[in-house]
Chain A
Amino acid sequence: MGAVQNFFDHYNYIATIVLMVAGLYIVIARGNMIKKLIGLMLFQTSVYLLYIAPGKIIGGTPPVLDPNFTVYSNPLPHVLILTAIVVGVATIALGLAIVSRIHEAYGTIEEDEIFAREEQE
Chain B
Amino acid sequence: MSAITAQLPGLQVVVPLLGAIIAAFMRRGTLAWAWATLITAFTPIIAFALLFQVWSNGPISYHMGGWPPPIGIEYRVDLLNAFVLVLVSLVSTIMMPYARRSVAHEIDGDKQAWFYAMYLLCLAGLLGIAITGDAFNAFVFLEISSLSTYVMIAMGRDRRALVASYQYLILGTIGATFYVIGVGLLYLVTGSLNFADIAARLGEASAAFPRPVLAGLAFLFVGISLKLALFPLHLWLPNAYAYAPSFATAFLAATATKVAVYLFLRIAFSIYGVALDLKALPVSTVLYPLSIAAMFIASILAVYEQNLKRMLAYSSVAQIGYITLGIALMNQAGLTGGIVHLFNHALIKGALFLALGAVMYRAGTVKLDDLGGIGRTMPLTFAAFVLAGMSLMGVPGTAGFISKYYLIVGALDAGKWPVAFLIVASSLIALLYIGRAVEVAYFRPVSQAVAHAKDPPLMMLVPMLALTFASVYFGIDTELSAGVASRIAELLIGGLK
Q: Interface residues, chain A, CB within 8 Å of chain B? A: 20, 24, 27, 33, 36-37, 40, 43-44, 47, 50-51, 54, 77, 80, 83-84, 87, 90-91, 94-95, 98-99, 101-102, 105-106, 114, 118
Contacts and interface: CB of A to CB of B under 8 A. Distances in A.
B258 to A, nearest CB: 22
Contacts of B140: 83, 87
Given A47-B177, A91-B143, A105-B159, A27 B165 contact: no
Interface of B: 136, 139-140, 143, 147, 150-151, 154, 159-160, 162-163, 165-166, 169-170, 173-174, 177, 180-181, 184, 187-188, 193
Given A80-B136, A94-B147, A98-B165, A47 B184 contact: yes
B181 A47 contact: yes
A95 to B, nearest CB: 5
B480 to A, nearest CB: 36
Contacts of B139: 84, 87
A36 B136 contact: no
Given A51-B187, A83-B140, A106-B159, 10 more contacts: A24-B174, A43-B174, A83-B136, A84-B180, A94-B147, A94-B151, A98-B165, A99-B166, A102-B159, A118-B160
B135 to A, nearest CB: 10
A110 to B, nearest CB: 12
Nearest to B165: A98
B166 A95 contact: yes
A27 B184 CA distance: 22
Contacts of B147: 90-91, 94
- Chain B binding surface SS class: helix
A84 B138 CA distance: 12
A51 to B, nearest CB: 5
B136 A101 contact: no
A101 to B, nearest CB: 5
A54 B169 CA distance: 29
A27 B154 CA distance: 20
10 contacts: A20-B181, A33-B166, A50-B181, A80-B193, A94-B150, A94-B151, A95-B169, A98-B166, A101-B162, A118-B160
Given A47-B177, A47-B180, A47-B181, A94 B163 contact: no
Contact of A54 (B143, B170, B188, B193): B188
Given A24-B174, A80-B136, A91 B160 contact: no
A98 B143 contact: no
A116 to B, nearest CB: 12
A67 B341 CA distance: 59
Nearest to A44: B177
Given A27-B174, A90-B147, A105 B162 contact: yes
A50 B183 CA distance: 11
A30 to B, nearest CB: 11
Contacts of B174: 24, 27, 40, 43
A-B pairs, top 3 by smallest CB distance, nearest first, are A105-B159, A87-B143, A102-B162
A20 B143 CA distance: 19
B410 to A, nearest CB: 36
Contacts of B136: 80, 83
Given A43-B174, A50-B181, A84-B180, A101 B154 contact: yes
Most chain A CB inside 10 Å of its own CB: which residue of B139, B147, B166: B166
Contacts of A77: 187
Contact of A102 (B150, B166, B170, B193): B166
A27 B150 contact: no
Nearest to A24: B174
Contact of A98 (B169, B177, B184): B169
Contacts of A102: 159, 162-163, 166
Contacts of A84: 139, 180
A50 B179 CA distance: 13
Contacts of B170: 27, 36-37, 40, 95
Nearest to A87: B143
Most chain A CB inside 10 Å of its own CB: which residue of B136, B151, B184, B187: B184
Nearest to A33: B166
Contacts of A24: 174
Contact of B169 (A80, A91, A101): A91
Most chain B CB inside 10 Å of its own CB: which residue of A36, A87, A99: A87
B55 to A, nearest CB: 34
A99 B169 CA distance: 11
B222 to A, nearest CB: 12
A91 B170 CA distance: 9
A43 B136 CA distance: 18
Nearest to B148: A94
Nearest to A41: B173
Nearest to A36: B170
